[in-house]
Amino acid sequence: MRLRLGGFDLPPEIWTLAVLALVGGSSTLLGSFFPLSDRAPVVLDRVLGGVGLSLAVALFLGGTRVSRALLHAAVGVLIVAVSVLISQCATNGGLMMTAFIYQWIAVYVALFCSRRAISLHALAITLCFGGGVLVADLPGTAIEWVIVSSTVWAAALVLGTLNERLRTQADTDHLTGVLNRNGFEKAATRELAIAGRTGNPLALVVVDLDDFKDVNDAHGHAAGDVLLVELASAWSLALRPGDLLARFGGDEFVLMLPATAAADAGGAIERLRDVHPASWSAGIAVWRRAEPLSDCFARADAELYSAKATARRRSPAEAITSG
């Protein structure tokens, strides 16, 4: 869920981290005015509280300009700041209250980071927390380090796995296993950005089966589903690893072919025709630099309807009967 605040339009991975830094910085700053002990590092609390608040403001102002690398760096800053605070804690209670922030950081990385990044951040928390505990040199902190570190790893890995599964389900067509419209739009946005930077051509292909309704009428919807699954499977094997294949619903599929000009896209389509006898029509459009994806779709759709008007091939119903 994007956050729109005044003139700011923030993706969830940015505003969530900004809120985390805001809450952490505010809590630390507030704690400096109501210390748990007369030995509490009041000055350090105020300095690091200011760091947290400054980080929150920077994320809000940076908005969509904040890169993935900067987000990881911001997480690292929070981990180090918490660890420095722990190293100066005067009581076990203060140490555990401060260490609680680690768990929120773990939840954040589980929701928005890759599996590798999750493990790296959890490892950073474990090591930095251990260093802070050693410097603090309070009694009984070894078991506290074990408990907090175990909780961080469990939360990060379990939530990360569940979140990855949910993302996959949200982006995948339940019948064929290829991308759905939502998943395609996410992947296509990345490919357009790459093509825009490199200048490489990028082809969009819209595919529609010919007379697919006849398959359902003659053989039932189950037969139609089998045909869609067979096509998606055969095409996935025939495409290059970097190509995108998605089912947009019904009998409509969409391909995105990176680093592919119009002539090469025609060759890719012919390869797809060779792997399955079903009849289908396709429209091709090559993306124009800085063009909205919707405009490219419109041109590919126009080519598709033109191709369907002149198509004279076997229908999917005939393909099933002869197969």
Active site residues: 251
How long a stretch of residues is the chain?
323
Distance CA 89, CA 136 (A): 6
Bridge-based pairing of strands 202-209 and 3-5 is: unpaired
Measured in whole angstroms, how far is the alpha carbon of residue 114 from the centre of its chain? 8
Cα-flanking dihedrals φ and ψ of residue 147, to 5°?
A: -65, -50
Q: What is the spatial distance between Cα 228 and Cα 77, in angstroms, rounded to a whole number?
A: 49
List Cβ neighbours of 134 (8 Å cut-off, separation of 6 or more): none
Phi-psi region at 219: left, alpha or beta (left = phi > 0; alpha = psi -120 to 50): alpha
Residue 228: its H or E element: helix 221-238
